[in-house]
Amino acid sequence: MSPKVWEASGHTANFTNAMIDCLTCHYRTRADHLIEDKLPDIGNVEGKPLEELDKIIKDNEIECPKCGSQHWTKTRNFNQLFETQIGIITEGKNTAYLRGELAQGMFVDFKQVLDSIHPKLPFGLAQSGKAFRNEITMGKFTFRTLEFDLAEFEYFVKPEEWETHFEYWKKEMYQFALSVGIPAEKLRWRSHSKEELSHYSSRTEDLEYEFPWGFKEMFGLAYRTDFDLRNHIEKSGVDLRYTDPYTQEKFIPHVIEPTFGLSRLLTIILMNAYYEDVEKKRVVMKFPKILAPYKVAVFPLVGNKENISAKAKEVFNLLKGQVNTTLDERGNIGKRYFTQDEIGTFYCVTIDYQTLEDNTVTVRDRDTMTQERIEIDKLQTFLDK
């Protein structure tokens, strides 16, 4: 994306984190992460003045996690935007940046949206895709990486109505988290302090998840006011104002921004679903029904009996148009059960010799391992429960 976009949005000057180096072993890290890891009861210190971070590190004699030294540089700001060069000749190269967020693409397209579909407030634009941040410290599996997936909404509202829409999205984001199987007791909302607020935000709240290393951000909700559109108007000269279709009043809409960390969400879903059944010596992915890759797996009891295999395929064809279904004929029945447990399939339907006699099948529940005989004609109703 053109550097002019990131200059107008304030990211080239303000998209920063506090960085610090160990003078002994040259280990480099974020100062706020160093403090929070060593002093877990201190709470969130992101965004605090650099001098205050230095004082906390010195007063608490915080040691380098690599070598144990207490000799640190002064903290300093480090820009998270990835800078690159476009062009094949050194003299003709131009600076460009990988996008640190998805929002700016939607803001610069705002006029095209107004001119093409004539939306009425409130309305939103949404995008999902890759974002890139030059993180000082990475780690904890996919929790903090240089490249990750986001989904962002830019929801345009009348300035005087922003609080109503902010609360609406707060509820929606929380309900979405619950709908994908995240326990309520592992969630909390945390408001950003004034020092922590991003340069574009007047109010931000994070929906945090309790990881093994503490509560950390999963989703974010920001009130960006008219900061972005106003700055793009000033820098580009393009009129990005909205015209009220009833009063003909022209004004710059304000923006509510729900942001969903998709990479982190995937990690959280996997962490919540993973279960080891020590007694049965099996691994189970306890996905909610809406997330299970297959809701149903259909098995023939044995794969070398043509009549049983044919009946299994008949049941599979009956179900596949209604629910996400797989047909598994490999190996013995016990291994097939455990294979489906490991990928999170909710039900296993087994066709056996009794099926050929009375048209019933065995349905096995993933989590409880209980089995029921169900008539094939009633199977769809049972699975829809």
Per-residue pLDDT of 232-278, as tens digits, reads 999 999 999 999 999 999 999 999 999 999 999 999 999 999 999 88
CA-CA distance, 54 to 72, in Å (whole number)? 9
Those residues with Cβ within 8 angstroms of residue 89's Cβ, 6 or more apart along the chain or in another chain: none
**What is the pLDDT at residue 17?**
85
Q: What is the mean pLDDT of residues 111-138?
A: 92
Q: What is the pLDDT of residue 90?
A: 63
Residue 26 pLDDT greater than 60, yes or no:
yes
C-alpha separations of 340 from 37, 286, 330, 332, 380 in Å = 39, 11, 12, 13, 19
Ranges for all domains in the chain classified under CATH 3.40.50.800: 285-383
Is the pLDDT higher at 329 or at 257? 257
- Evaluate if residue 1 carries a pLDDT over 90: no
Mean pLDDT score, 204-215 = 94
Q: What is the pLDDT of residue 158?
A: 97
Mean pLDDT confidence for 366-374: 93
Cα radius of gyration rounded to whole Å, the chain:
27
pLDDT for the residue 379: 92
Instruction: Identify the CATH homologous superfamily for domain 99-277.
Output: Bira Bifunctional Protein; Domain 2 (3.30.930.10)
Reference 347, options 287, 303, 301, 304; nearest CA is 287
Q: Is the pLDDT of residue 293 over 60?
A: yes
User: Is residue 126 classed as helix, strand or coil in its secondary structure?
Assistant: strand
Q: What is the mean pLDDT of the chain?
A: 92
Q: What is the pLDDT of residue 110?
A: 95
pLDDT tens digits, one per residue of 68-94:
999 999 999 988 888 888 877 666 568
Cβ neighbour number for residue 245 with a 10 Å cutoff: 11
Kindly state the average pLDDT of the residues 373-378.
Answer: 93
Laid out side by side, the sheet with 214-225 consists of 123-132, 147-157, 254-261, 214-225, 203-211, 187-191
Q: Where in the chain is the domain with CATH 3.30.40.230?
A: 1-97
pTM: 0.82
290 has pLDDT over 60: yes
Segments of the chain assigned to CATH 3.30.930.10 = 99-277
Give yes or no for a contact between 27 and 67, defined as CB atoms under 8 angstroms apart: yes
User: Fold for domain 285-383?
Assistant: Rossmann fold (3.40.50)
CATH of 1-97, one of 3.30.40.230, 3.40.50.10540, 2.40.10.10, 2.70.170.10: 3.30.40.230
Q: What is the pLDDT of residue 105?
A: 92
